[in-house]
A = this chain, B = another copy of it.
Amino acid sequence: MEVRTSVIEKRLSKVKRVISVASGKGGVGKSLVACSLALSLSKKGYKVGLLDLDLYGPSSHVILGVNDFSFPEEEKGILPYDINKIKFMSIVYFTEDKPAPLRGMDITNVIIELLAITRWEELDYLIIDMPPGIGDETLDVIHLVKKSEFMVVSTPSKVALAAVDKLLKVLKELKLPVVGVVENMKIDDSTLIKDYSKEQGFSYLGSIAFDKNLEGAIGFPEKLMKTGFMNDFDKIITKHL
Interface set of A (CB-CB < 8 Å, partner B):
24-28, 31-32, 56-57, 59, 62-63, 97-99, 101-105, 107, 132-136, 138-139, 155-160, 162-163, 165-167, 169-170, 173, 187-188, 190, 212, 215, 218-219
Contacts A25-B26, A56-B25, A62-B162; A170 near B218 (Cβ below 8 A): no
Which 9 pairs of residues, A with B, have the shortest CB-CB distance?
A27-B27, A26-B26, A104-B104, A56-B133, A99-B166, A57-B163, A25-B57, A101-B134, A25-B26
How many copies of the chain does the oligomer comprise?
2
| A101 and B138 contact, CB distance less than 8 A | yes
In the complex, what's the smallest C-beta–C-beta distance from A148 to chain B, in angstroms?
A: 16
A interface, over-half SS: loop
Q: Which residues of B contact A24 (CB under 8 A)?
A: 57
Contacts A25-B27, A57-B25, A132-B56; A63 near B101 (Cβ below 8 A): no
In the complex, what's the smallest C-beta–C-beta distance from A162 to chain B, in angstroms?
A: 5
- A136 contacts which of B28, B104, B155 (Cβ < 8 Å)? B104
Q: Which residues of B contact A62 (CB under 8 A)?
A: 158-159, 162
Q: Which residues of B contact A156 (CB under 8 A)?
A: 215
In the complex, what's the smallest C-beta–C-beta distance from A67 to chain B, in angstroms?
A: 12
Complexed CA–CA distance, A167 and B219 (Å): 21
| B157 and A215 contact, CB distance less than 8 A | yes
Q: Which residues of B contact A162 (CB under 8 A)?
A: 57, 59, 62, 97
- A133 contacts which of B57, B159, B165, B173 (Cβ < 8 Å)? B57
Complexed CA–CA distance, A23 and B9 (Å): 35
Interface-centre pick from A102, A158, A173 (highest chain B CB count, 10 A): A158
| B101 and A56 contact, CB distance less than 8 A | no
Contacts A26-B25, A159-B31; A134 near B170 (Cβ below 8 A): no
Interface-centre pick from A157, A162, A190 (highest chain B CB count, 10 A): A162
